[in-house]
A and B are shown apart, each in its own frame.
Chain A
Amino acid sequence: MRFRIEQRTEPSASMRVAAPVVATVLTLLVGSAMFAVLGYDPLSTLQAFFIAPLNSMNGLSELLLKASPLILIGCGLAVGFRANVWNIGAEGQLIIGAIAACGVGLFYPDPESPLLLPLMVLAGACAGMLWAAIPAFLRARMNTNEILVTLMLTYIATLFLSWLVHGPWRDPAGFNYPQTALLPAAAMFEPFDYSYRLNPSIFITGVAVLVMWLFTDRSFLGYKMSVGGAAPLAARYAGFRESAAVWTGLLAGGAAAGIAGMAELSGPLGQLSPQISPGYGFAAIIVAFIGRLNAFGIVLGGLLMSLLFLGGETVQLTLGLSSSLTRVFQGILLFFLLAADFFIFYRIRLIPEHA
């Protein structure tokens, strides 16, 4: 008897539904076994991982606060990913967005102006788009690989930020430590309730999800981009321009990442320092794929990533589980989630030896 992997003639609709369930069950089984072997009660560990972080208003607020940039960036990136435009430099676009927003916040002549916050959103979006326009131009005009260019520009953005906070933008009252002064109150999103950290920037993410859905599922350009991604030759034959897809894909990702950077700055951070993002730009790539490049899938993906992160802290706080173990567990879940997708497009057949 042998096994053979076969491509399905059509993606399996039932596997599409079953894959995440299978992945979850496998994760719970393997995870429980791992916790049990290490001497932790599997049930209470899983409870601390997935339920405890959501038990309080503060937990919910933190979940959304952390999920918001992931979802926002994930939506922007997915627009490009659907057309095979691989922007993996959202981290850099986020940083540039935060820098531009901070520039407006610190140096706008009237620090109490109600216009400050909208201007910062605009600055963040434009700067993110500008940063993404570099790989877009190079790809559209010179067919330069956008994967490399976007990634390299992330390092440039990081070093530019480092130069600013070590040099010209350093807080004059901060003992020469590399960070800017705190932004004025009018440049900060006011939390819904000062007991929690969630702020109105979550609405921007909500709007982005809707726009992304309308664009990909309801607009002709979105349709053309999807065709270009699925069947480039057919798209070319139909007269769909590839450069339009490149520009749209990269600018959407850049704008989303730039706004996310602004929202981090005007939300939980309040100032720039040499490192401002816990890898949101990279994590959002995973989120986009967990969400299958679909707007509402990305919302679920972002919430899941956020929960995994908070859960990892909770098990460390309550059960003393090492942070390395929680990352192993997070890896197991993401692995099964993405691996289970294999069965949507392929099946394994059993072939009798004598046939």
Chain B
Amino acid sequence: MHNLNRRQFLQYSSAVGAAIGTGGFAGIANAQEVLKMGVVYVSPIAEIGWTKQHSLAVDAVKAELGDKVEITVIDNIFMPQDAERVFRELAASGNRLIFGTSFSHGTPLQKVAPRFPKVAFEHCSGIVHLPNLGTFEAKYYEGCYVAGAAGAHMSKTGKIGFIGGFPIPDIVGPANALLLGAQSVNPDITCNALFLNSWFDPGKEKEAANTLVSQGCDVICSMTDTATGVQVAGEKGAWSIGYASDMSKFGSGKQLTAFTLDWSSDYLRAAKGVLEGNWKPEVRWDGLAAGVVKMAPYNEAIPADVIAKLKQLEADIGSGKVHPYAGELKDQDGNVKVPAGAVLADADIRGMNWFVKGMIGKLS
């Protein structure tokens, strides 16, 4: 299965490479005109969360490009049936750059993009690329690894709790990285993981967080689209780790840090590319080094020398000196998945569907 994935990954990559090699994207070079740009959000813009971070990137485009862009935003589009109609509508009404911001937008984008070859499409968290469909994604696991190290420094029980929206690779991988980061500080630490099968279910998430705390976890990290995990942890006196946005104001002073997402560079690069006529469908996958993943300010309760270590860890991951998935990596049952001295291949990171040793919980 992993070999197949790697092969697929290479196929996609080489297809994009070929597209770039054959002169890239020459369809839409017109510098005079205002760039009409459409963005489709998966949920309404809230105070924090996934869509909020995308809206901040859109604001960054507005701030930098001003009246050179005219941006149409439509929110709360999750279902593929609806997404396809909206993408088509945006493309037909003259938008030359269109963003999809959810994995569920992928199949619709793949259907619409070939029908509008002169429109540039960008898909956040996508896996399939076409001559006019590029993707961008964050290396969540880099931030998660640092957050895990912070958690291990502060945990007294040696147990971390993780709440995930769905058991998909985008979440399973970071959950593993959280524990691996923690184990880099304390090799005996474990992580209890629960999945909600929903991105937004504060009731269920509250229950999950309570369960984890009662199991003895004193650091809670929640990868959903709410601040509930951070909030419940704070109320129960446990440390918390925020995701997507800085959630410190929900955490009763107990948020250790958050691994936040900043897509500005991805949006700006695409918008400038289309404006200047040199947009290409890229496969962008950035983390701490490019600033797509950023650590929120560390909690003042963390000792200064630990904060210095964490900042050094950020820098080392950014420079490639430390790789979160460096061997030796074993799965839950103790089978060696990555031998010592090697690192997990990119395609295997993007398709990660197994838990590392020390994770407690099931993936189904």
Contact = CB atoms under 8 A, between A and B. Distances in A.
Contacts of A62: 85
B84 A197 contact: yes
Given A172-B4, A313-B74, A317-B93, A278 B79 contact: yes
Interface string A275-303: 11110000000000000000000000000
B358 interface: no
Contacts of A269: 80-81, 107
A264 B44 CA distance: 25
A103 interface: no
A177 B168 contact: yes
A64 B153 CA distance: 59
B313 interface: no
Nearest to B74: A316
B194 to A, nearest CB: 15
Contact of B4 (A173, A264, A323): A173
A162 interface: yes
Contacts of A316: 74-75
B44 A313 contact: no
Q: How would you classify the secondary structure of chain A's contact residues: helix, strand, loop or mixed?
A: loop
Given A175-B169, A177-B103, A268 B4 contact: no
Contacts of B197: 159, 162, 274
Contacts of A172: 1, 4
B58 interface: no
Interface residues of A, number: 39
A182 B75 CA distance: 26
Interface string B117-146: 000000000010000000000000000000
B168 A178 contact: yes
A278 B85 CA distance: 13
B89 A174 contact: no
B95 to A, nearest CB: 10
A268 B88 contact: no
Contacts of A324: 44
B351 A176 contact: yes
Contact of B81 (A167, A268, A317): A268
B75 to A, nearest CB: 6
B4 A275 contact: no
B298 interface: no
B8 interface: yes
Interface in A153-167: 159, 162-163, 166-167
A273 interface: yes
Interface in B348-364: 350-353, 364
B166 A178 contact: yes
Contact of B80 (A167, A176, A195, A273): A273
Interface string A193-212: 01101000000000000000
A275 B165 CA distance: 14
A274 B4 CA distance: 23
B201 interface: no
B127 A174 contact: yes
Nearest to B81: A268
B77 to A, nearest CB: 8
Interface in B56-94: 72-76, 78-82, 84-86, 88-90, 92-93
A243 interface: no
A12 interface: no
Most buried by A among B93, B111, B168: B168
B76 A167 contact: no
B364 A173 contact: no
A58 interface: yes
A323 B107 contact: no
Given A163-B364, A175-B5, A58 B88 contact: yes
B90 A317 contact: yes
A271 B104 CA distance: 11
Interface in A107-150: none
B127 A58 contact: no
B72 A317 contact: yes
A89 interface: no
6 contacts: A175-B5, A182-B107, A197-B84, A275-B78, A317-B90, A323-B76
Given A176-B352, A317-B89, 5 more contacts: A62-B85, A166-B167, A174-B127, A175-B351, A177-B169
Interface of A: 58, 62, 66, 159, 162-163, 166-167, 172-179, 182, 194-195, 197, 264, 268-271, 273-278, 310, 313, 316-317, 320, 322-324
Closest 4 CB pairs of A and B: A176-B353, A268-B81, A175-B351, A278-B79
